[in-house]
A and B are shown apart, each in its own frame.
Chain A
């Protein structure tokens, strides 16, 4: 009775049902469920607030756990789930198809979704009596539901419907704290950008459907061989722009650093951790599933976009002192790292070298999972910091390591992971990406041979800059002395917020120390996309990874950890032998001749990144302004104002001209809107004539 297909069938229905139930039931307890502010006591009693909170996020937890189960069942048994939901004319069957690729992304979404749902129990307490919680619950569940369906849709029309649903729910979530002007601006920017992307996707699907005569993904796959190469190229670029906007690659990234910080922190974790990955999913689906194999230059284009995103993402992140914006820029960087793996895989695939393509694709996909874990962790950590201190500006923080010991420990693990330091998960995927790129030496084409070393160089630069950025982010936020009373009176968040962070931190360690077993889960995905050829990546015992094609370069994180721990104990032993028990004494540090050390003496985040601002001054075009007001003597300054601005190249030279172009065009076209009825009648008449003439 309970065989695998029926279990999967049940899991799918639980997945959808859980989210839908929360969407339907949570608002019922409210008299005005969709009012934007909900502060009057009569409307939401304490009891119904608790009900909405626990039922809403509990249902989301249940649904995402069943999504995780569904994904794991497909990845481990290899049997895909296919469901026909609704037969429609003329779009064919709106079907669900959970193949290994879809299952992997569904798994990542559900895993982070489950953890964030638990976090939301505690986090939503923030909004008690201040905001309408049922609205958040409805949007949150809709968001998770639409994201899950996006990756498992088996039909272009269904895909576009849920894609649009996802975009719209995110729009409302970004706008949740609509009292703030920044949120409203961010939401508008997001909705404009994402709709440009959707337009490209619609064109792409129409092009695909034109040859396939169907909107089913299966027919796209079967008919891709008949597509002329010019159409293929067009599809390639449509997908790159359409999905690129969603994943925030440079130069389409401008919405991301605005939108992610504006949303509530639990939602930012999901947006940065998994929503932008739906863009990656789309690219992998189109490039590896529908159109494969494409020419090598596609891979080089993707690699170029990836490199630009990685380097610029981290450079802009370094200039930020808004904690959530900083993390948002790092999402751009990590999307770049993911796409480096994907791009390299496309290059190898076009030369038919499937073993190498497998390594590269695994590198990219493993980074998808890893980034979801550590970026989720970091955003949840940032959320805890924000709810404890009510500020996102790290210049006002400091010393939190003593006030929020657990949060800071978890954040540190996330920071180490995103800086790709061994033995955490970020290191493993970056290691794989390096290996994948170096394998490019096996390709004899000249353009590839020039592109690959440059990509390697810039990936190395990215990694080093990311470490610098997270020394800044962690050091300024958590270490030293508190720079404001916000930071001084901070308290550790409730346990329901700490446990999810702990789970994600544990996942970062687990994925880093035991990469072998985790990567084996990816095997069905690469087999599905690249065929069953032997991978160039070998997983040996003790979870060590080896790449025979690159002369047995390998890494064994587990053994490394054992040695690291053992060798860290060595100085303790040596110290005991040489000098006996450690004598410690606390003392004040030198305060430059003043009475005691003041928080203002510390380095600021802006000061910390100054050398980098100088080194890369060509990119930042920083301008600063100093204003000093003096009291009686020039030796005693009364007030000092320092203003620093870095130029956003893309906004100035790309978006601003485009925006003014659009406005000018609109002004020009406005002339035909005369306001006279007769002229509109004339337009209709002309349109009718034209249609009769040409569109028979």
Chain B
């Protein structure tokens, strides 16, 4: 019985944390950026208002679009939330960790991306195709870079299971200061910036055709569909930060099922994610958006760093 309670409580907590805190992280990033630009900026809870508003608005469908366009928002939302079940946030091991390991997580991200890219082509406009083409091309370097960075940590922990990785590392925090880990961390951070469409790779606040990537694909979305997609991207950013936070700094995460441990875990997690959010905002404010064809070079850096990390670990060991 207690196992059932544990499963239910932690899973629901897990989902709620990701669902409810993801817009907050985006809010923190926006607020920090505004402050760095000497603006007051909107409140950190503004993303919640935006989502609620979008959920209430009607949907305008492009007359050229097919069922792919209508299904995509739900698929993206569902697949991102499924990842939220597999990535440890406040407690480890997550109850459903046996459903899928880190490879599954990466490929679930790919599912969402695949459908959004198709939806971009489905509208029959030039912008949609432009966004899909750029997104899939950049993803073809981002995805392997991410895999290698994560595999480096996985090999260190001796498992591809995220919960086991986080648990093992939280018991032996010294192993985190391994040269290959540092390389993998830098790789994964670049991947996070790129994959969630932040400056210098993409700019979530622009709709300029020369630069936009992600926004171009979802240009024709509106109302509730847009809400689903926006929320899913916020959750994606949040999950990425959770991955970095718990794989490289697994301090404070709850390893036992008690109210106190979970509370500490939640507190530590919020602190870690806030720090990462501010870090992302700093990177965004201190860099200029790269030209599109300069971006692959940056991504290649991440790819090579991650590959070096993995080879280094294979050769010199622990």
Residue ranges of A at the interface with B (Cβ–Cβ < 8 Å): 398-399, 401-402, 412, 416, 419-422, 427, 431, 434-435, 438, 441, 446, 449-450, 452-454, 456-458, 460-461, 463-465, 467-468, 470-472, 474-476, 479-481, 544, 546, 550-556, 559-560, 563-565, 567-572, 574-575, 578-580, 582-590, 592, 597, 599, 601-603, 607-612, 614-615
Contacts and interface: CB of A to CB of B under 8 A. Distances in A.
Contacts of A571: 73-74, 77-78, 228, 231
10 contacts: A412-B68, A438-B151, A441-B155, A457-B147, A480-B123, A553-B154, A556-B100, A583-B59, A601-B126, A615-B137
Interface in B136-186: 136-144, 147-148, 151, 154-155, 157-161, 164
Given A416-B114, A571-B73, A601-B126, A456 B148 contact: yes
Given A589-B124, A602-B124, A551 B161 contact: yes
Contacts of A551: 157-161, 164
A588 to B, nearest CB: 6
A467 B122 contact: no
A584 B58 contact: yes
A552 B93 CA distance: 13
A592 B120 CA distance: 16
Given A438-B154, A578-B56, A419 B114 contact: yes
A570 B228 CA distance: 10
B291 to A, nearest CB: 12
Contact of A588 (B58, B62, B102, B159): B62
Given A479-B121, A563-B85, A615-B296, A453 B136 contact: no
Given A438-B160, A551-B161, A578-B55, A585 B99 contact: no
A602 B65 CA distance: 13
Contact of A467 (B114, B158, B164): B114
Contacts of B125: 589-590, 597, 601-602
A471 to B, nearest CB: 5
B75 interface: yes
Contacts of B61: 584-587
A412 B118 CA distance: 10
B63 interface: yes
A580 B52 CA distance: 12
B211 interface: no
Interface stretch (B105-113, B240-248, B255-263): B105-113
Determine chain B's interface SS by DSSP, over half rule: helix
Contacts of A434: 103, 160
Contacts of B128: 603
B307 A457 contact: yes
Given A544-B99, A587-B61, 15 more contacts: A398-B124, A434-B103, A441-B155, A450-B315, A464-B143, A471-B121, A471-B136, A481-B124, A554-B161, A568-B74, A585-B60, A586-B61, A597-B124, A602-B129, A611-B137
Nearest to A580: B56
A603 B129 contact: yes
Interface string B281-316: 000000000001100100000010011001100110
A512 to B, nearest CB: 12
Given A438-B155, A559-B99, A597-B64, A475 B58 contact: no
A579 B133 CA distance: 33
Interface of B: 52, 55-64, 66-68, 73-75, 77-79, 81-82, 85, 96, 98-104, 107-108, 110-111, 113-114, 117-118, 120-126, 128-130, 132-134, 136-144, 147-148, 151, 154-155, 157-161, 164, 220, 223-224, 227-228, 231, 292-293, 296, 303, 306-307, 310-311, 314-315
A475 B132 contact: yes
A81 B231 CA distance: 59
A355 to B, nearest CB: 16
Given A450-B314, A552-B159, A559-B99, A464 B110 contact: yes
Contacts of A467: 110, 113-114, 136, 139-140
B64 A585 contact: no
A552 B108 contact: no
B78 A575 contact: no
A426 B144 CA distance: 17
A420 B111 CA distance: 9
Contacts of B151: 438, 456
Contacts of A615: 137, 140-141, 296
B144 A460 contact: yes
B74 A572 contact: yes
A635 B113 CA distance: 38
Given A422-B107, A457-B310, A479-B66, A603 B132 contact: yes
A550 B158 contact: yes
Contacts of B74: 568-569, 571-572
B129 A609 contact: no
Contacts of B142: 464
A473 to B, nearest CB: 11
Nearest to A468: B136
A468 to B, nearest CB: 4
Given A585-B59, A587-B63, A555 B81 contact: no
Nearest to B155: A441
B310 A456 contact: yes
A430 B147 CA distance: 13
Contacts of A553: 101-103, 154, 159-161, 164
